[in-house]
Amino acid sequence: MAKVMLFNKPCGVLCQFSSAAGRACLKDYIPVQGIYPAGRLDTDSEGLLVLTGDGALQARISDPRHKLAKTYWAQVEGLPTAPALRQLCEGLDLGDFITRPCVAVRIDAPAGLWPRDPPVRRRLQIPTAWLELKLKEGKNRQVRRMTAKIGHPTLRLIRWAVGPWTLEGIAPGQWRWAEVSGF
């Protein structure tokens, strides 16, 4: 049975195995050779990165045609209203593309969430809220662009799940192997 590596990427880590100018990258955390990310996360985003050495599996995981849902937790400025969430769900025109419909709901702050390094900026006069978004696409900075479009910029972004895999039990900077079955 095929296996994938599940890595909890900390904020500030590049999603590649080489780095210019001494920036933190995957090789600083993962001592395994011959595996590659199936998709990417922005440097300032955190969370689940799936890696594999199987090129066909890598394509299947990352290609939106296979409709593998990705779940994100976004801490945003302000308190999004029901109409704002509906805009996210129905799809937004971001200029260079229109997002596909998705699921977007307000949630409580995720339990057991680790502190971010560096910390998220706090503004005493502006409340924050957490959203859970489930997308079946993943374009460059898409979640951040979507929340900004509805007037609620993202302060912290964590990818919690990719298809059947989650961050459950994986601390930032840590990884574990998982089996591939049924997808």
Residue 42 annotated among the catalytic residues of the structure: yes
42, 93, 96, 108: the active-site residue: 42
Closest CA to 34 of 26, 43, 42: 26
Query: Are the C-beta atoms of residues 130 and 75 closer than 8 Å to each other?
Result: yes
Residues near 149 by beta carbon (within 8 Å), at least 6 away in sequence: 87, 92, 94
Measuring CA to CA, how many Å separate 82 from each of 8, 14, 118, 131?
31, 35, 31, 12
Closest CA to 167 of 115, 112, 126: 112
Is residue 118 reached through a cis peptide bond, with omega within 30 degrees of 0 on the bond before it?
A: yes
The DSSP call for residue 76 is: E
Q: Which residues are catalytic?
A: 42
